[in-house]
């Protein structure tokens, strides 16, 4: 009877380990030293799949690791600096305090992995993806842990990034269904691009970057900034933003569709198109902006402000707005069509060479100031 009870007890323990998954994996993990690990990833005994292993506290001896899948494995305090990883897949792995400085990653996938305090400064990434993974830095002594990366294109799919810094990197960053908290990409180099799709972001900073494209689709990004940038194509679509993109060097084009809060301040912009903005939207282009063409259509914003702006063409059509303010501006051609201004209309000291104003209406007791302007905007009777 005692043997039977022992058998039942061991059987229940076995079942519990299977159910727990991670506990089961840890139970069967094999710890390898540097020599054992090297023999299994290189030479005659090289394996294509390494599962349930643990390595810790050593420097990788081989210069290149290639054509291997690591499954359910743990790397802790490993120094892989200046190594080459090619055609590598990490599945269900944990990498903690790993030194990937100056590493080269070619066709490397991290799937359902956790990277904690991994440092990848000055690394080269070609064809790298993070899928269903978590990247986090908790070490206060590590700042910008992904500093000066050289990337072709890196994908973060359904992944979480916390306290991660890409300072002075160059490449195309794609964040798809990602959660980002305290992520910095300041001073990204020319040739870089940022794509956010279905992203939940908080405390992001991509200031002083030189981007061919900044694209934000179906995303919510709060408490963030992208000041002092050069951007070729800027696209907002179906998103909720609360941050300024201000004091930029120049933007070639801005296209905002159905997005709340479009704040482009102090930046010369060639083409701007804003449509379908929600009622609470603030549209600000403030502080001496030089522009080519601005088109605002089918919007109900709270404010449209182009204070001290200089440019060629502004068209505002099918818009209801509380405050319209373009004081101290110089505009070659101003077109207003089907515009209702509820509370304030200011264009003091403004010069407009050509004005087209049709279907204009004012709210009751609207404040209307146009001292020293060469035009007067009148409501249609």
pTM of the complete model beyond 0.85: yes
Query: 180 near 200, Cβ under 8 Å?
Result: yes
Give 94's Cβ-side CA count (13 Å radius): 13
The two structure tokens encoding residue 40: 């299994």
The two structure tokens encoding residue 4: 């039977």
| Residue 288, domain member (yes or no) | yes
Instruction: Quickly state the pLDDT bin for 27 (edges 50, 70, 90).
Output: very low
Which carries the bigger pLDDT value, residue 106 or residue 289? 106
Q: Is the pLDDT of residue 24 over 50?
A: no
The two structure tokens encoding residue 49: 């799949």
The CA–CA distances, whole Å, from 351 to 283, 290, 375 equal 21, 14, 7
| Residue 303, domain member (yes or no) | yes
User: What φ, ψ does residue 180 adopt, rounded to 5°?
Assistant: -120, 130
| Residue 191, domain member (yes or no) | no
Averaged pLDDT, 137-158: 88
Which carries the bigger pLDDT value, residue 144 or residue 189? 189
Paired strand residues for 170: 150
pLDDT, tens digit (0-9, with 9 covering 90-100), for 232-268: 999 999 998 887 788 888 899 999 999 877 778 778 8
Chain centroid to Cα 146, Å, comes to 15
| Residue 285, domain member (yes or no) | yes
Model pLDDT, residue 289: 65
**Cα–Cα distance, 180 to 201 (Å, whole number):** 5
| Residue 375, domain member (yes or no) | yes
**Cα–Cα distance, 261 to 272 (Å, whole number):** 14
Look up the domain containing 315 and give its range. 227-381
pLDDT, tens digit (0-9, with 9 covering 90-100), for 320-363: 999 999 999 999 999 999 999 999 999 999 999 999 999 999 99
Which carries the bigger pLDDT value, residue 100 or residue 282? 100
| Residue 109, domain member (yes or no) | no
| Residue 313, domain member (yes or no) | yes
Max Cα-Cα span within the chain = 104
- CB-count exposure of residue 59 (10 Å: 0-12, 13-18, 19+): exposed
Please name which of 65, 74, 63, 75 lies closest in space to residue 40, comparing C-alpha atoms: 65
Instruction: Name the domain count of the chain.
Output: 1
Averaged confidence pLDDT in the chain: 89
**Cα–Cα distance, 94 to 116 (Å, whole number):** 8
Instruction: Quickly state the pLDDT bin for 25 (edges 50, 70, 90).
Output: very low
Please name which of 170, 238, 249 lies closest in space to residue 199, comparing C-alpha atoms: 238
């Amino acid at each position: 009877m005692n043997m039977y009870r022992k058998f039942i007890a061991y059987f229940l323990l076995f079942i519990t380990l299977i159910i727990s998954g991670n506990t089961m994996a840890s139970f069967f993990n094999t710890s390898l030293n540097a020599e054992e690990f090297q023999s299994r990833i290189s030479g005659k005994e090289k394996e294509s799949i390494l599962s349930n292993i643990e390595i810790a506290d050593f420097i990788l001896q081989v210069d290149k690791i290639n054509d291997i899948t690591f499954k359910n494995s743990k790397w802790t305090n490993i120094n892989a600096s200046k190594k080459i990883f090619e055609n590598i897949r990490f599945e269900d792995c944990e990498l903690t305090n790993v030194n990937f400085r100056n590493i080269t990653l070619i066709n490397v996938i991290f799937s359902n992995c956790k990277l904690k305090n991994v440092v990848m400064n000055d690394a080269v990434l070609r064809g790298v993806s993070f899928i269903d993974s978590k990247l986090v830095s908790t070490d206060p002594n590590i700042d910008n842990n992904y500093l000066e990366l050289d990337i072709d294109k890196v994908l973060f799919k359904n992944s979480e990034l916390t306290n991660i810094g890409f300072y002075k990197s160059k490449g195309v960053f794609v964040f798809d269904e990602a959660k980002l908290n305290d992520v910095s990409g300041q001073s990204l180099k020319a040739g870089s691009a940022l794509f956010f799709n279905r992203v939940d972001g908080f405390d992001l900073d991509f200031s002083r970057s030189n981007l061919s494209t900044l694209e934000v689709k179906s995303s919510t990004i709060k408490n963030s900034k992208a000041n002092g940038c050069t951007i070729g194509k800027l696209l907002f679509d179906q998103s909720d933003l609360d941050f300024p993109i201000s004091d930029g060097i120049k933007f070639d084009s801005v296209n905002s569709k159905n997005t709340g809060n479009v704040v482009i301040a102090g930046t010369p912009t060639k083409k701007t198109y804003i449509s379908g903005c929600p009622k609470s939207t603030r549209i600000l282009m403030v502080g001496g902006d030089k522009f080519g063409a601005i088109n605002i259509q089918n919007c109900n914003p709270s404010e449209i402000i182009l204070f001290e702006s200089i440019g060629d063409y502004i068209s505002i059509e099918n818009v209801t707005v509380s405050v319209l303010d373009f004081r101290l501006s110089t505009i070659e051609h101003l077109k207003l069509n089907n515009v209702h201004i509820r509370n304030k209309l200011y264009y003091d000291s403004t010069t407009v060479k050509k004005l087209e104003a049709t279907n204009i209406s004012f709210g009751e007791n609207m404040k209307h100031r146009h001292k020293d302007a060469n035009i007067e905007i009148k409501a249609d009777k």
